[in-house]
Amino acid sequence: MQKILNFGSLNIDHVFTVDHFVQPGETMAALGLSLLPGGKGLNQSVALARAGAEVYHAGKVGANGTSLVSLLQKDGVHTEWIDRTGSTTGMAVIQVDRTGQNCILVSRGANGEMTGAQIDAVLSSFGRGDLLLLQNEVNLVSRMIDKAAARGMTIALNLSPIDESLGHGPLEKVSYFLLNELEGESLTGEKQPDRICEALLTRCPKAKIVLTLGKKGVLYRDQNARFAHGVYRVPVVDTTGAGDTFTGFFLASVIGGCSVEESLKLASAASSLAISRKGAADAIPTLQEVKNAHLEMQL
Ligand code: RIB
């Protein structure tokens, strides 16, 4: 059976509820503070698991990261490949304003301490046909892509948070790209969604591209197909982790044998439910919750 390995970040999110994002030079009292599990890697493993996939998480935490590992275990994620000897667990400072929008500052900590030996040890348990999911919150992403491709693994890359190093990486070895418009523009220099996809397909002709468009929904492109899906109408409480929820549900669904169109629909519904709740990992719904939800499309 195909295994999913997610080699990704684990963070402790310090979530400040604010009226508005703090401005340069401004000191402002927050309306509330919560410490919550997060990290794009952890969130995507939780989403995969809650969508029904069998997932192995690899990464690194410090001594203060035990609760993150326990949370993954509670969701049925395999955690034997999480190294607990990191300096200090990754941390994010997140402001969530009264409209539910967020801005995020990340300190990598242990997420920036992956080693070649760790990558080799983890990948030795996976092979042809297994899926490797990556984001850009850990170090050595290009090396992971090269090594996994050499083992015949299928690679899915969420280009978040984007930086220059990704564009220089071995992207032609990636099968699934999951990115938003800003990341697409940064990678290709194009602004218009179809042009972003076309520029990426020129470089990586065999790729399957999932481009999320915020309130405009999502666009899927590959060499032969184009699908779009809108967003559902929900009260927006906190948008943190919406993209992670989408990524996990989309991949779990496609790997589970559903069509791209069905998978876009499921992932859109799951991420809509996630933004109607507070937090990142804590807000991710289960497959049953998504199936039971009666959501209306936003016109
Ligand atoms: O995508 C949301 C995540 O980004 C947060 O959980 C935070 O930890 C940052 O990694």
Q: Which of 14, 162, 244 to mutate to test the pocket of ligand 1 (most atoms within 8 A of CB)?
A: 244
How far from 34 is each of 100, 134, 142, 146, CA to CA, in Å?
15, 27, 34, 38
Ligand 1 and 137: CB distance under 6 A: yes
Q: How confident is the model over 157-214, as pLDDT tens digits?
A: 999 999 988 999 999 999 999 999 999 999 999 999 999 999 999 999 999 999 999 9
d(C-alpha 107, C-alpha 38), whole Å? 12
Ligand 1 and 38: CB distance under 6 A: yes
Ligand 1 and 13: CB distance under 6 A: yes
Cβ contact 215:231 at 8 Å: yes
Find the mean pLDDT for residues 269-297.
96
Ligand 1 and 240: CB distance under 6 A: yes
d(C-alpha 111, C-alpha 155), whole Å? 20
Ligand 1 and 92: CB distance under 6 A: yes
d(C-alpha 90, C-alpha 10), whole Å? 6
Q: Which amino acid, residue 153?
A: M
Cβ contact 221:211 at 8 Å: yes
Cβ contact 127:149 at 8 Å: no
Ligand 1 and 11: CB distance under 6 A: yes
d(C-alpha 276, C-alpha 283), whole Å? 8
Q: Whose CA is nearest to atom 2 of ligand 1?
A: 241
How far is C-alpha 251 from the chain's CA centre? 10
Phi, then psi, of 257 in degrees rounded to 5: 105, 0
Q: Measured on CA atoms in the order 116, 54, 264, 227, is the torsion positive or negative?
A: positive
CA of 196 to the centre of ligand 1 (A): 24
d(C-alpha 97, C-alpha 224), whole Å? 41
d(C-alpha 191, C-alpha 181), whole Å? 7
Q: Is this prediction's pTM over 0.85?
A: yes
Strands (E), 204-262: 208-212, 218-221, 226-229
Q: How confident is the model over 107-147, as pLDDT tens digits?
A: 999 999 999 999 999 999 999 999 999 999 999 999 999 99
Residue 103: both structure tokens together: 């801005």
Q: How confident is the model over 87-114, as pLDDT tens digits?
A: 999 999 999 999 999 999 999 999 999 9
CA of 54 to the centre of ligand 1 (A): 22
Q: What confidence category does residue 298 fall into, taking pLDDT thresholds of 50, 70 and 90?
A: confident
Ligand 1 and 238: CB distance under 6 A: no
